[in-house]
Amino acid sequence: MFVPFLVVALIFAFTSLKNTTKITRPHIDYLSIIESAIGFASLVASVSLASDLGLTSPLVIGLFVLAIVVLVFYVHRQLNLKNPVLNLKIFSITQFRTGALLVMVDFEIILSTMYLLPQFIQKGLSLAVALTGIIMLPGGLINAITSALAGRIYDSQDAKRPAVLGFIIAFIGALMLALATPSAPVWYIILSQIILMIGCPLTMSPSQTYALNATQSPASADGSTIMNTLQQIVGAVATAIATILLAMGQGMSKKGGGARCVLLTVLTTASTLILIVIGFSLSLTIKEDGNN
Protein backbone atom coordinates (compact mmCIF):
# COMPACT_ATOMS: atom_id res chain seq x y z
CA MET A 1 0.00 0.00 0.00
CA PHE A 2 2.98 2.31 0.51
CA VAL A 3 4.29 1.81 -3.03
CA PRO A 4 2.06 4.44 -4.73
CA PHE A 5 3.10 7.05 -2.15
CA LEU A 6 6.75 6.20 -2.69
CA VAL A 7 6.34 6.52 -6.47
CA VAL A 8 4.75 9.96 -6.08
CA ALA A 9 7.54 11.02 -3.72
CA LEU A 10 10.16 9.75 -6.19
CA ILE A 11 8.59 11.75 -9.04
CA PHE A 12 8.63 14.93 -6.94
CA ALA A 13 12.22 14.24 -5.94
CA PHE A 14 13.28 14.16 -9.59
CA THR A 15 11.16 17.08 -10.76
CA SER A 16 10.92 19.50 -7.86
CA LEU A 17 13.73 18.86 -5.35
CA LYS A 18 16.45 21.44 -5.94
CA ASN A 19 19.98 21.16 -4.58
CA THR A 20 20.79 24.11 -2.31
CA THR A 21 24.39 23.24 -1.49
CA LYS A 22 27.60 22.85 -3.46
CA ILE A 23 28.32 19.28 -4.58
CA THR A 24 31.77 18.34 -3.27
CA ARG A 25 32.14 14.67 -4.32
CA PRO A 26 34.45 13.66 -1.45
CA HIS A 27 36.47 10.45 -1.43
CA ILE A 28 34.49 7.49 -0.08
CA ASP A 29 36.28 5.50 2.59
CA TYR A 30 35.14 1.95 1.97
CA LEU A 31 36.71 0.62 5.18
CA SER A 32 34.49 3.01 7.14
CA ILE A 33 31.43 1.70 5.32
CA ILE A 34 32.40 -1.91 6.11
CA GLU A 35 33.03 -1.06 9.78
CA SER A 36 29.72 0.80 9.95
CA ALA A 37 27.78 -2.12 8.46
CA ILE A 38 29.38 -4.72 10.73
CA GLY A 39 29.28 -2.62 13.89
CA PHE A 40 25.72 -1.31 13.71
CA ALA A 41 24.29 -4.57 12.31
CA SER A 42 25.93 -6.57 15.11
CA LEU A 43 24.59 -4.16 17.72
CA VAL A 44 21.02 -4.38 16.46
CA ALA A 45 21.25 -8.16 15.98
CA SER A 46 22.56 -8.73 19.52
CA VAL A 47 19.74 -6.72 21.10
CA SER A 48 17.13 -8.32 18.83
CA LEU A 49 18.26 -11.88 19.53
CA ALA A 50 18.37 -11.24 23.27
CA SER A 51 14.58 -11.33 23.42
CA ASP A 52 14.57 -14.95 22.18
CA LEU A 53 17.91 -16.35 23.34
CA GLY A 54 18.33 -14.40 26.58
CA LEU A 55 20.91 -11.85 27.70
CA THR A 56 23.40 -14.57 28.69
CA SER A 57 23.38 -16.33 25.31
CA PRO A 58 26.93 -16.76 23.89
CA LEU A 59 25.69 -15.57 20.49
CA VAL A 60 24.14 -12.42 21.97
CA ILE A 61 27.23 -11.64 24.03
CA GLY A 62 29.54 -12.37 21.09
CA LEU A 63 27.61 -10.09 18.71
CA PHE A 64 27.49 -7.33 21.31
CA VAL A 65 31.24 -7.51 21.99
CA LEU A 66 31.91 -7.57 18.22
CA ALA A 67 29.72 -4.49 17.79
CA ILE A 68 31.49 -2.54 20.53
CA VAL A 69 34.97 -3.41 19.23
CA VAL A 70 34.18 -2.59 15.61
CA LEU A 71 32.36 0.64 16.51
CA VAL A 72 35.32 1.79 18.60
CA PHE A 73 37.56 1.39 15.55
CA TYR A 74 34.89 3.07 13.40
CA VAL A 75 34.61 6.12 15.68
CA HIS A 76 38.40 6.42 15.90
CA ARG A 77 38.66 6.31 12.12
CA GLN A 78 35.96 8.94 11.63
CA LEU A 79 37.69 11.29 14.05
CA ASN A 80 40.99 11.02 12.17
CA LEU A 81 39.91 10.93 8.53
CA LYS A 82 40.11 14.07 6.43
CA ASN A 83 36.75 13.25 4.79
CA PRO A 84 34.86 11.04 7.28
CA VAL A 85 31.66 9.25 6.35
CA LEU A 86 30.13 10.68 9.55
CA ASN A 87 31.69 13.83 10.94
CA LEU A 88 31.49 12.85 14.60
CA LYS A 89 33.51 15.90 15.63
CA ILE A 90 30.33 17.97 15.68
CA PHE A 91 29.37 16.14 18.88
CA SER A 92 31.86 18.49 20.54
CA ILE A 93 29.22 21.21 20.04
CA THR A 94 27.17 21.25 23.22
CA GLN A 95 23.98 22.47 21.54
CA PHE A 96 24.10 19.76 18.87
CA ARG A 97 24.92 17.03 21.39
CA THR A 98 22.03 18.01 23.66
CA GLY A 99 19.53 18.33 20.81
CA ALA A 100 20.58 15.03 19.23
CA LEU A 101 20.26 13.18 22.55
CA LEU A 102 16.80 14.66 23.08
CA VAL A 103 15.71 13.52 19.63
CA MET A 104 17.01 9.99 20.24
CA VAL A 105 15.31 9.70 23.64
CA ASP A 106 12.04 11.07 22.29
CA PHE A 107 12.18 8.76 19.26
CA GLU A 108 12.72 5.73 21.48
CA ILE A 109 9.75 6.75 23.65
CA ILE A 110 7.48 6.98 20.60
CA LEU A 111 8.58 3.67 19.05
CA SER A 112 8.54 1.62 22.25
CA THR A 113 5.05 2.91 23.07
CA MET A 114 3.72 2.32 19.58
CA TYR A 115 5.12 -1.21 19.73
CA LEU A 116 3.51 -1.91 23.09
CA LEU A 117 0.10 -0.29 22.65
CA PRO A 118 -1.33 -2.57 19.89
CA GLN A 119 -0.39 -5.63 21.93
CA PHE A 120 -2.11 -4.25 25.00
CA ILE A 121 -5.25 -3.39 23.03
CA GLN A 122 -5.45 -6.85 21.46
CA LYS A 123 -4.30 -9.04 24.38
CA GLY A 124 -5.17 -6.89 27.38
CA LEU A 125 -8.50 -5.49 26.21
CA SER A 126 -9.25 -8.49 23.92
CA LEU A 127 -10.20 -6.29 20.98
CA ALA A 128 -9.96 -7.17 17.29
CA VAL A 129 -6.94 -6.24 15.17
CA ALA A 130 -9.01 -4.02 12.87
CA LEU A 131 -10.37 -2.11 15.84
CA THR A 132 -6.84 -1.64 17.13
CA GLY A 133 -5.95 0.45 14.09
CA ILE A 134 -9.06 2.60 14.53
CA ILE A 135 -8.26 3.16 18.23
CA MET A 136 -4.72 4.29 17.39
CA LEU A 137 -5.80 6.55 14.51
CA PRO A 138 -6.63 9.66 16.64
CA GLY A 139 -3.20 9.56 18.26
CA GLY A 140 -1.52 9.37 14.85
CA LEU A 141 -3.49 12.36 13.58
CA ILE A 142 -2.68 14.38 16.70
CA ASN A 143 0.98 13.47 16.26
CA ALA A 144 0.98 14.90 12.72
CA ILE A 145 -0.85 18.09 13.75
CA THR A 146 1.35 18.69 16.80
CA SER A 147 4.51 18.12 14.75
CA ALA A 148 3.42 20.86 12.37
CA LEU A 149 2.57 23.27 15.20
CA ALA A 150 5.77 22.51 17.15
CA GLY A 151 7.88 24.26 14.52
CA ARG A 152 5.84 27.45 14.86
CA ILE A 153 6.12 27.27 18.64
CA TYR A 154 9.90 26.98 18.31
CA ASP A 155 10.00 30.15 16.17
CA SER A 156 8.37 32.15 18.96
CA GLN A 157 9.45 30.32 22.10
CA ASP A 158 12.89 28.82 21.29
CA ALA A 159 13.44 25.13 22.10
CA LYS A 160 13.49 24.90 25.88
CA ARG A 161 9.87 25.66 26.73
CA PRO A 162 8.22 23.30 24.21
CA ALA A 163 10.76 20.55 24.99
CA VAL A 164 10.21 20.76 28.75
CA LEU A 165 6.43 21.01 28.35
CA GLY A 166 6.45 18.13 25.87
CA PHE A 167 8.12 15.74 28.30
CA ILE A 168 5.74 16.75 31.10
CA ILE A 169 2.73 16.03 28.88
CA ALA A 170 4.29 12.77 27.64
CA PHE A 171 4.85 11.67 31.25
CA ILE A 172 1.14 12.12 31.99
CA GLY A 173 0.16 10.05 28.94
CA ALA A 174 2.66 7.26 29.71
CA LEU A 175 1.57 7.16 33.36
CA MET A 176 -2.05 6.77 32.28
CA LEU A 177 -1.06 3.81 30.10
CA ALA A 178 0.90 2.28 32.97
CA LEU A 179 -2.22 2.43 35.16
CA ALA A 180 -4.51 0.88 32.52
CA THR A 181 -6.28 -2.39 33.37
CA PRO A 182 -8.10 -5.02 31.24
CA SER A 183 -11.36 -3.29 32.21
CA ALA A 184 -10.18 0.15 31.07
CA PRO A 185 -12.63 1.80 28.63
CA VAL A 186 -11.48 2.37 25.06
CA TRP A 187 -11.77 6.15 25.43
CA TYR A 188 -9.21 6.01 28.26
CA ILE A 189 -6.64 4.28 26.03
CA ILE A 190 -7.32 6.72 23.18
CA LEU A 191 -6.96 9.70 25.54
CA SER A 192 -3.71 8.31 26.96
CA GLN A 193 -2.22 7.94 23.50
CA ILE A 194 -3.41 11.38 22.41
CA ILE A 195 -1.75 12.99 25.43
CA LEU A 196 1.46 11.07 24.70
CA MET A 197 1.30 12.06 21.02
CA ILE A 198 0.97 15.71 22.00
CA GLY A 199 3.99 15.61 24.27
CA CYS A 200 6.46 13.64 22.13
CA PRO A 201 6.26 15.67 18.88
CA LEU A 202 6.14 18.88 20.92
CA THR A 203 9.66 17.94 22.01
CA MET A 204 10.90 16.34 18.78
CA SER A 205 10.80 19.20 16.24
CA PRO A 206 12.25 21.96 18.48
CA SER A 207 15.02 19.64 19.71
CA GLN A 208 16.00 18.65 16.18
CA THR A 209 16.02 22.25 14.97
CA TYR A 210 17.95 23.31 18.09
CA ALA A 211 20.64 20.74 17.30
CA LEU A 212 20.95 21.54 13.60
CA ASN A 213 21.04 25.29 14.19
CA ALA A 214 24.29 24.76 16.09
CA THR A 215 26.06 23.53 12.96
CA GLN A 216 27.24 25.57 10.03
CA SER A 217 27.26 24.45 6.39
CA PRO A 218 28.62 21.94 5.38
CA ALA A 219 28.52 20.60 8.95
CA SER A 220 24.73 20.97 8.92
CA ALA A 221 24.54 18.15 6.38
CA ASP A 222 26.69 16.00 8.66
CA GLY A 223 24.40 16.79 11.59
CA SER A 224 21.32 15.77 9.62
CA THR A 225 23.02 12.57 8.46
CA ILE A 226 24.10 11.65 11.98
CA MET A 227 20.61 12.12 13.40
CA ASN A 228 19.01 10.13 10.57
CA THR A 229 21.51 7.33 11.14
CA LEU A 230 20.99 7.29 14.89
CA GLN A 231 17.21 7.28 14.47
CA GLN A 232 17.39 4.10 12.39
CA ILE A 233 19.57 2.43 15.01
CA VAL A 234 17.50 3.67 17.95
CA GLY A 235 14.35 2.49 16.16
CA ALA A 236 15.64 -1.05 15.87
CA VAL A 237 17.10 -1.11 19.37
CA ALA A 238 13.99 0.42 20.99
CA THR A 239 11.74 -2.25 19.49
CA ALA A 240 14.15 -5.00 20.54
CA ILE A 241 14.37 -3.68 24.12
CA ALA A 242 10.58 -3.47 24.34
CA THR A 243 10.42 -7.10 23.21
CA ILE A 244 12.95 -8.11 25.88
CA LEU A 245 10.94 -6.36 28.59
CA LEU A 246 7.74 -8.01 27.40
CA ALA A 247 9.46 -11.41 27.52
CA MET A 248 10.76 -10.66 31.03
CA GLY A 249 7.28 -9.68 32.17
CA GLN A 250 5.83 -12.83 30.67
CA GLY A 251 8.33 -14.91 32.59
CA MET A 252 7.54 -13.07 35.83
CA SER A 253 3.77 -13.50 35.52
CA LYS A 254 2.07 -16.72 36.58
CA LYS A 255 -1.27 -15.51 35.26
CA GLY A 256 -2.40 -15.46 31.68
CA GLY A 257 -4.59 -13.42 29.37
CA GLY A 258 -5.33 -9.81 30.21
CA ALA A 259 -3.70 -9.95 33.64
CA ARG A 260 -0.38 -11.02 32.15
CA CYS A 261 -0.60 -8.37 29.44
CA VAL A 262 -1.20 -5.71 32.09
CA LEU A 263 2.00 -6.74 33.88
CA LEU A 264 3.90 -6.62 30.59
CA THR A 265 2.45 -3.18 29.90
CA VAL A 266 3.41 -1.85 33.32
CA LEU A 267 6.95 -3.22 33.02
CA THR A 268 7.53 -1.80 29.55
CA THR A 269 5.81 1.52 30.30
CA ALA A 270 8.00 1.88 33.39
CA SER A 271 11.04 1.96 31.11
CA THR A 272 9.27 4.58 29.01
CA LEU A 273 8.65 6.72 32.09
CA ILE A 274 12.36 6.48 32.96
CA LEU A 275 13.25 7.66 29.45
CA ILE A 276 10.84 10.58 29.80
CA VAL A 277 12.47 11.61 33.09
CA ILE A 278 15.90 11.43 31.42
CA GLY A 279 14.63 13.50 28.49
CA PHE A 280 13.05 16.04 30.83
CA SER A 281 16.35 16.42 32.70
CA LEU A 282 18.21 16.95 29.42
CA SER A 283 15.66 19.51 28.23
CA LEU A 284 16.38 21.65 31.28
CA THR A 285 19.97 22.09 30.01
CA ILE A 286 18.81 23.76 26.78
CA LYS A 287 19.98 27.34 26.55
CA GLU A 288 17.09 29.49 25.39
CA ASP A 289 19.30 31.92 23.52
CA GLY A 290 20.68 29.04 21.43
CA ASN A 291 24.31 29.68 22.37
CA ASN A 292 26.74 26.82 22.95
Q: Which of 120, 133, 107, 137 is nearest to 268 (CA)?
A: 120
Residue 168 falls inside a structural domain: yes
Where helices occur in 54-80 by DSSP H, the ranges are 58-80
More confident site: 103 or 289:
103
Counted domains in the chain: 2
Encoded amino acid at 16, one letter: S
Q: Assign 292 a pLDDT band (cuts: 50, 70, 90).
A: very low
Looking at the structure, tell me whether residues 181 and 269 fall in a common domain: yes
Q: Are 245 and 140 in contact (CB under 8 A)?
A: no
Does the residue 246 lie in any domain?
Answer: yes
Instruction: Tell me: do 167 and 235 sit in the same domain.
Output: yes
Beta strand spans in the chain (E): none
Do 125 and 214 lie in one domain? The reply is: yes
Is residue 240 in some structural domain?
A: yes
124 falls within a domain: yes
Mark whether 71 and 106 lie in a shared domain.
no
Which of 7-11, 27-31, 165-169, 244-248 has the least mean pLDDT?
244-248
Residues 210-256 pLDDT 10s: 888 888 766 677 788 888 888 878 877 777 777 776 666 666 555 55
Instruction: Verify that 144 and 177 share a domain, yes or no.
Output: yes
In a domain, 202, yes or no: yes
Structure confidence at residue 290 (pLDDT): 46
The residue among 255 and 117 whose pLDDT is bigger is 117
Q: Is residue 231 part of a domain?
A: yes
Residue 288 in this model has a pLDDT that exceeds 70: no
Lowest mean pLDDT among 100-109, 153-162, 165-174, 215-224: 215-224
Q: Are residues 184 and 259 in the same domain?
A: yes
Does one domain contain both 185 and 255?
Answer: yes
User: pLDDT exceeding 90 applies to what percent of the chain?
Assistant: 20
Question: Considering the chain, what percentage of its residues have pLDDT values greater than 70?
Answer: 88
Please indicate, yes or no, whether the overall pTM of this predicted structure exceeds 0.75.
yes
Residues 74 and 201 in one domain: no
Question: Are residues 40 and 71 in contact, defined by beta-carbon separation less than 8 angstroms?
Answer: yes
- Which residues lie closer than 8 Å to 93 by C-beta, 6 or more apart? 214, 215, 292
CB 238 within 8 A of CB 107: yes
- The answer on pLDDT for 261 being more than 80 is no
H or E element in which residue 99 lies: helix 94-119
Amino acid at 109: I
Instruction: Quote the distance between the C-alpha of residue 11 and its chain's center.
Output: 28
Asked whether residue 288 is assigned to any structural domain, the reply reads no
DSSP 18-30: ---S----PPP-H
Structure-model confidence comparison of residues 237 and 92, the more confident one:
92
Nearest alpha-carbon partner for 200 in 153, 168, 230, 160: 168
Q: From 85, 101, 120, give the residue that closes a domain.
A: 85
**What mean pLDDT do residues 163-167 have?**
91
Distances (CA, A) of 79 to 17, 51, 83, 219: 32, 34, 10, 14
- Clarify whether residues 163 and 71 are in a common domain: no
In this predicted model, what pLDDT tens digit does every residue of 75-88 receive, in sequence order? 999 888 888 888 88
Mean pLDDT of 4-29: 85
> What mean pLDDT is predicted for residues 46-66?
84
Between 218 and 284, the more confident residue is 284
Q: Which CATH number covers residue 119?
A: 1.20.1250.20
Q: Is the pLDDT of residue 257 over 60?
A: no
Say if CB 230 and CB 99 are below 8 A apart: no
Say if residue 263 is in the same domain as residue 185.
Answer: yes
Q: Determine the pLDDT at residue 150.
A: 82
> Which of 85, 113, 129 is the last residue in one of the domains?
85
| Coil, strand or helix at 55 | coil
Considering the domain architecture, whether residues 34 and 133 belong to the same structural domain is answered as no
What does the alpha-carbon distance between residue 288 and residue 292 come to, in Å, rounded to a whole number? 10
Cα 42-44-46 angle, rounded to 5 deg: 65
Closest CA to 121 of 176, 184, 191: 184
| 115 and 224, same domain (yes or no) | yes
Task: Determine, yes or no, domain membership for 2.
Answer: no
Of 44, 65, 85, which residue constitutes the final position of a domain? Answer: 85
Range of the structural domain that residue 236 is part of: 93-283
